[in-house]
């Protein structure tokens, strides 16, 4: 499981199942709650405060004709 997958699981909860006790893919319509997007944002900011995005993900910074950008290489084992 990649680092982005682990971050996504933290957002969804332990099981990662929509509608599970610890997470859901829908936001509360009755007001701020555990699925409130602003609360989720605050939790992410708290959890990753002081972290560098490059250390938390598999990205690197590359430079091209347009400037610097994030680059991620994903290797897939497929026979052609």
CB contact at 8 A, 61 and 71: yes
Residue ranges of the domains in the chain? Answer: 3-72
Q: Are 34 and 26 in contact (CB under 8 A)?
A: no
User: pLDDT in tens for each of the 80 residues of the chain?
Assistant: 677 777 777 777 655 445 444 444 444 454 556 678 898 999 888 988 888 877 777 888 999 999 999 888 777 888 87
Residue 61 neighbours by CB distance under 10 Å:
10
**Helix, strand, coil share of the chain (percent; to 5):** 30, 20, 50
DSSP letter for 22, please.
T
pTM recorded for the entire structure: 0.34
């Amino acid at each position: 499981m990649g680092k982005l997958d682990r971050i996504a699981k933290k957002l969804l909860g332990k099981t990662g199942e929509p509608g599970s006790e610890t997470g859901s893919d829908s936001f509360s319509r009755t007001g701020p709650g555990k699925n409130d997007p602003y609360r989720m944002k605050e939790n992410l900011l708290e959890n990753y405060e002081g972290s560098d995005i490059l250390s938390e993900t598999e990205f690197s910074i590359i430079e091209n004709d347009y400037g610097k950008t994030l680059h991620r290489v994903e290797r897939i084992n497929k026979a052609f």
